[in-house]
Copies of this chain bind each other. A is one copy, B any other.
């Protein structure tokens, strides 16, 4: 599989969306899809779809479109959701516990195999069938459970200590819910999720519009 080195974040995001469209089509029993159909359902252009997909190799047949299952399988391999990932959740405060209860990660193969916290009142409790472990044992838990990705949901004050330990234990991917920018060594990738900050960006934009009116 020849993959271009320079795939942008927005391209990866679109590819995730294409996969969702393809999976709905698989359920419907559709066998082929055109770049026009993919663009219609993903808010982009057919040319952009062709460009995104061509960067992963060429599977479209001119005039026939893409094979739905073939393309879905290929995208799953590229994104890495053709297999499951072992994930640890660090921090079961309000956001962390909502994430455990939600369970939407497992549907895509992200399997939360460990939950950790520093709070003695939480350690030892059961959450969705997992026992909350002591952060003191982080390195042992990561090794025993073969953890590959971390969901980080600790208070801002605790972030830098935890990030150092994540780096030292050799984990290279963090999904960060703490409202701060993580400083990580090279080779570790961070993706931020912060719903409240997205809302703030929204209200900022609406505020600006009002000032101009």
Contact = CB atoms under 8 A, between A and B. Distances in A.
Interface of A: 1, 3, 7, 9, 12-14, 16-17, 20, 24, 41-44, 78-81, 85, 87, 94-95, 98-99, 101-105, 107-108, 110, 148-149, 156-157, 172-175, 179-183, 187, 189, 191-209, 211
B105 A94 contact: no
A128 to B, nearest CB: 13
14 contacts: A13-B197, A16-B201, A20-B156, A24-B157, A79-B200, A80-B203, A94-B103, A104-B195, A108-B200, A110-B196, A175-B198, A175-B199, A191-B199, A193-B195
Counted per complex, copies of this chain come to 2
A196 B20 CA distance: 12
B203 A173 contact: yes
Nearest to A195: B193
A43 B193 CA distance: 16
Contact of A180 (B1, B43, B78, B195): B43
A159 to B, nearest CB: 10
Given A43-B182, A94-B102, A94-B104, 13 more contacts: A12-B200, A42-B180, A42-B181, A43-B183, A78-B204, A78-B207, A79-B200, A79-B203, A95-B104, A99-B195, A104-B196, A105-B195, A105-B196
Contacts of A156: 20, 24, 41
A206 B183 contact: no
A169 to B, nearest CB: 15
A23 to B, nearest CB: 10
A179 B105 contact: no
Given A203-B85, A204-B12, A207-B78, A43 B197 contact: no
